[in-house]
Amino acid sequence: MRAVHEADALAWLDQHALPQRCGVLTSLPNVDEFAHRDLDRWRAWFVDAAERTIARTPAGAACVFFQTDIRHGGTWIDKSFLLQLAAQRVDGAALLWHKLALRAPLGTTTNERPGYAHLLCFARNLTLADDSACPDVLPALGRMTWARAIGVDVATWAVRWLRDHARAATIVDPFCGVGTVLAIAEREGLDAIGVERNPGRAAKARALRLGGETGG
């Protein structure tokens, strides 16, 4: 089952309870996706959105964020720091792991965006088994279905982790874009729920199918 709701993500999360056996995998929008392009307004929104996403994830379920840092006005904006600020506001939320996924080969000098992305996993009342250990650095994002998408390989890895180690039967992406995470969840035998406020992207998220990429 794949369901895509055309709505504001945070309003939808406030109005709907997520399935108990779900895993959340999402990527929050960057400042350049907002008309105002105001860094302080975006930063406050980002922390609030992350807090509400973590808080709405059921106890015993895991919430994974995929985010890439940015440079803005000569300064570095560390989104993993913002996510951890948000988690501190949620009673009982803990950081289970923090991974890096390479966006460019090691030793490459990149501009504007760093050569890696963050994967951070938060949860309340979730204890991992000893066999949940996994690599700290993922070698490549994989193919991207659009410019702002999570890479297919990284998304596949995260979906499988949520299924195999956090007992997820449904994958939820409240900022689903064109539906990369949803298509991978469906391909991996899981139900998927997405939220996207842009009608065109929501239509693509309902239709996207992925082939034989297997992830790392």
56 assigned to some structural domain = yes
Domain count, the chain: 1
pLDDT at residue 213 is higher than 70: no
121 assigned to some structural domain = yes
58-89: per-residue pLDDT in tens?
999 999 999 999 988 889 999 999 999 999 99
215 assigned to some structural domain = no
pLDDT at residue 98 is higher than 50: yes
pTM of structure: 0.95
CATH code assigned at 123: 3.40.50.150
- Domain encompassing residue 36: 2-207
35 assigned to some structural domain = yes
142-194: per-residue pLDDT in tens?
999 988 889 999 999 999 999 999 999 999 999 999 999 999 999 999 999 99
213 assigned to some structural domain = no
Structural tokens at position 211: 């082939």
Q: How far apart are CA 207 and CA 59, in angstroms?
A: 31
126 assigned to some structural domain = yes
Residue 110's pLDDT is: 87
193 assigned to some structural domain = yes
Can you spell out the DSSP letters for 67-96? E--EEETTEEE-HHHHHHHHHHTSTT-EEE
Q: How far apart are CA 54 and CA 88, in angstroms?
A: 10
